[in-house]
Amino acid sequence: MKITKAIFVKSAKDLADYPSGGFAEVAFAGRSNVGKSSMINCLVQKRGLAHTSSTPGKTRLINFYLVNGEVSFADLPGYGYARVSREMRSEWKRMVEEYFLHRKELRLLILVVDVRRGLEEDEKAFLLWLKQRGIKAVIVGTKIDKLNRSERVRAMRILREQAKEFGMDVFEFSSRSGEGRDELWSRIVQVCGEGSWSFSGENFFSQ
């Protein structure tokens, strides 16, 4: 994917504050510290666009980005971070439910999981909830650079097996090496392709 422009649009907590440009949107959700913001930076090839940190819980609001003036990315706050207070946890739930129940522009959810951990119970419950609402989702196993070849094959096999239950496709990814980037972009373009999204042919495969 050739990225001509990627900008931060705004942070929002409530539906009323979401950007209203009407662009097809891809949301990134997953456990805290799993690598959601790093994945966005890797996809748009702009280090530091989405803030990353080795301290879990860095992203506390929904951060919106606009890529090539055509597709919107929503970086959702991470869940499962044990050290946050109960109020913060219920605020997270409210924020995320509101997003998935009302964001009309949402075309695809990317559930980011650490390939070494696979899907855990809370993630399965979340995927079921999404499926029941007809939200299109894919699962991306990230940090594959941390595994050797055979560990990677094994971890991906487990993840694919787990994903079957939800009928969702699985991708492998590394924000460090960029592996899996083209495949994930390909799916994003496929899903967001209808409408104004105009990437195609040479342009799309030029990187």
Q: Which range in 152-160, 164-172, 173-181, 182-190 contacts ligand GTP by CB under 6 A?
A: 173-181
Q: Own/partner pairs for 93-100, CB < 8 Å, 24+ apart?
A: 95/13, 95/14, 95/61, 95/62, 96/29, 98/14, 98/15, 99/15, 99/27, 99/62, 99/74, 100/27, 100/130, 100/133, 100/135
37 binds Mg ion (CB under 5 A): yes
Residues 135-164 that bind ligand GTP (CB under 6 A): 142-143, 145-146
Q: Which range in 4-12, 117-125, 126-134, 170-178 contacts ligand GTP by CB under 6 A?
A: 170-178
Indicate which of ligand GTP, Mg ion, none lies near residue 11 (CB less than 5 to 8 Å, by partner kind). none
| 126 and 163 Cβ atoms separated by less than 8 Å | no
Q: Which range in 11-19, 53-61, 169-177, 184-192 contacts Mg ion by CB under 5 A?
A: 53-61
Indicate which of Mg ion, ligand GTP, none lies near residue 145 (CB less than 5 to 8 Å, by partner kind). ligand GTP
Q: Which of 29, 59, 130, 163: binder of ligand GTP (CB under 6 A)?
A: 59
C-alpha 124: how far from its chain's center? 16
| 73 and 40 Cβ atoms separated by less than 8 Å | yes
Contacting positions for ligand GTP (CB under 6 A): 30, 32-38, 52-54, 56-59, 78, 142-143, 145-146, 174-176
